[in-house]
Structure 1
Amino acid sequence: MTQPSISYKRHRFPPEIIAHAVWLYVRFNLSLREVEEMMLERGIDVSCETVRRWTRKLGSLIARNLRRRQARPGDVWHLDDVVVKIAGRSFRLWRAVDQDGVVLDGECQIFCV
């Protein structure tokens, strides 16, 4: 099954600017106005509504392409965990990484001791 490629036809801005604005919004959990301000600091005058439209139209396709380019996890994994007591409640924090330091998973579990 072939994946649909991203079409930037009929857009005023180049594909690199669109992809960067969507990436900023999605990756760093910024508000649309913050993305607008960051782009303005770089000399690109784009409204927050335009960024919202780009994200709605192209966000899932850009995310799929980024996930596809992401490196596969290695075959050696390391698990680290710690128990922390906060306000009388115990929390187990753990993280799994591969041999290259890529975080595979991390979670916080609450349990009673």
Structure 2
Amino acid sequence: MKELFAGRHFDRKILVLCARWYLRYKLSLRDLVEMMAELGLDIAHTTIMRWVQRHLPEFEKPWNGYARKGGRSWRVDET
């Protein structure tokens, strides 16, 4: 997994933190830019978007081992 982050301008921890917050808490990219600015980092929202798009499959791999597939049958109660 180290080679996945090789050659990046920002530290691996910042990259993972932004992607995780974006996916977990449904923050906007611009919210994340403001949060990183408070930490003294100047990051564009498109950079965070590219990080999420590139690294999302790697973040999903561990989750797929725990997630169970839904069945084909489902029911809705009357309201």
Fold similarity call, TM over 0.5: yes
The 2-side partners of 1:49 and 1:23 are apart by 16
Q: Which has the higher strand share?
A: 1
Q: Which has the higher helix share?
A: 2
Aligned-pair Cα RMSD in Å: 2.2
Correspondence for 1:53 among 41, 50, 55? 50
Correspondence for 1:23 among 20, 23, 35? 20
Greater length-normalized contact order (CA 8 Å, ≥ 6 residues apart): 2
Letter aligned with residue 15 of structure 2: I
TM-score scaled by structure 2? 0.72
Contact kept, 8 Å, 1:36 with 1:48, in 2: the verdict is yes
Contact kept, 8 Å, 1:19 with 1:62, in 2: the verdict is no
In percent, how many aligned pairs have the same letter? 25
Alpha-carbon spacing, 1:10–1:32, altered in 2? closer, same or farther (3 Å)? same
TM-score scaled by structure 1? 0.52
Alpha-carbon spacing, 1:63–1:45, altered in 2? closer, same or farther (3 Å)? farther
The 2-side partners of 1:63 and 1:19 are apart by 13
Find out whether 1:40 has 2:40 as its counterpart: no
The 2-side partners of 1:50 and 1:56 are apart by 10
Which residue number in structure 1 is paired with residue 71 of structure 2? Answer: none
The 1-side partners of 2:38 and 2:10 are apart by 16
